[in-house]
Amino acid sequence: MALCARARSASNGMNTEQISQKTSILFDLDGTLTESRSLISKQMSKLLIVLASKMDVVVISGAQLSQMKKQIPWIMNGAVIAMGQSGNEVPEYWENKLTDVEVQHVLNHIEKIKKIYRIVDVDENDQIESRGGQVAFSLIGHNADKERKREFDSSGEFRLDILRNIPFVHELLMARVAGTTCFDYTRKDWGKAGNITRLMQKRRWDKNACLYIGDALFEGGNDYPVKETGIECVAVSGPEDTKKIIDSLLLNK
């Protein structure tokens, strides 16, 4: 299989037996399948389509479905399950929305951050997206230059420091480091972990047959809570890493 020739043993520490047992693969989007807010590459698109013909494939992102469609134009054709807003926007199953009071609490926290951390050359109209089930706040703007976004806080440590210095405290809501420049605000039980658990229950998937692949599995990252689901998680540094894992999955199917 030509698509799989590139990396026969590249599986980020997973052995052949572990890979062969996986039948449901869940991917983060930005930093995993694509660069931030970027169109999926032709090679990655082909790999994903082939993978989806052999097993269940899910793409979950903090972005809205409308943005996900810009990055993967065919994502709503039924080949994969698309979960927008950290899984709060899944039309075939559910759509969860924050209340106006909850959104205002988030905006108050964002204002505290902006007052203390003054970052230059930022379009303030591009920083906050209230998406319905989630609020996303980008420190330098959602549509900032891609190279600037990539280099701004690649480890997530700067944003983790911000949350340590200005904690987000709410009984029902939480804040997570997301993407390359963002904080994602969702309900505590409606983040990626909770929504993936709901999907597994709906689809009656065995968690041992599931694999999650993401770039923000570090503590405080928006992929980190997925570990709470009990499914195996593999961290990647970007789309090139992800391609190697897909290659390994295809070689064992």
CATH of the domain at 147: 3.30.1240.20
Pick the residue with more confidence: 15 or 1?
15
In a shared domain, residues 196 and 90: yes
Contact between 222 and 192 under an 8 Å Cβ cutoff? The reply is yes
In a shared domain, residues 151 and 166: yes
| Token pair in block for residue 180 | 């390359």
| Token pair in block for residue 167 | 């904690």
In a shared domain, residues 106 and 183: yes
Query: How confident is the model at residue 12, as a pLDDT?
Result: 57
Averaged pLDDT, 158-183: 96
CA 144 to CA 37: how far, in whole Å? 10
Global pTM value: 0.85
Q: Is residue 201 part of a domain?
A: yes
In a shared domain, residues 185 and 110: yes
- pLDDT tens digits, one per residue of 191-238: 999 999 999 999 999 999 999 999 999 988 889 999 999 999 999 999
In a shared domain, residues 128 and 202: no
- pLDDT tens digits, one per residue of 125-137: 999 999 999 999 9
In a shared domain, residues 130 and 153: yes
Query: How confident is the model at residue 52, as a pLDDT?
Result: 98
Pick the residue with more confidence: 72 or 19?
72
With cut-offs at 50, 70 and 90, classify the pLDDT of residue 7. Answer: very low
Query: What is the CATH classification number for the domain harbouring 68?
Result: 3.40.50.1000
- Given a cut of 90, whether residue 94 has pLDDT beyond it is yes
Domain of 120, in residue numbers: 100-189
Domain count, the chain: 2
Q: Which residues of 30-46 are buried (b: 16+ CB within 10 A; e: fewer)?
A: bbbbbbbbeebeeebbe
Pick the residue with more confidence: 231 or 8?
231
Count other Cβ atoms within 10 Å, centred on residue 27.
22
- Given a cut of 70, whether residue 10 has pLDDT beyond it is no
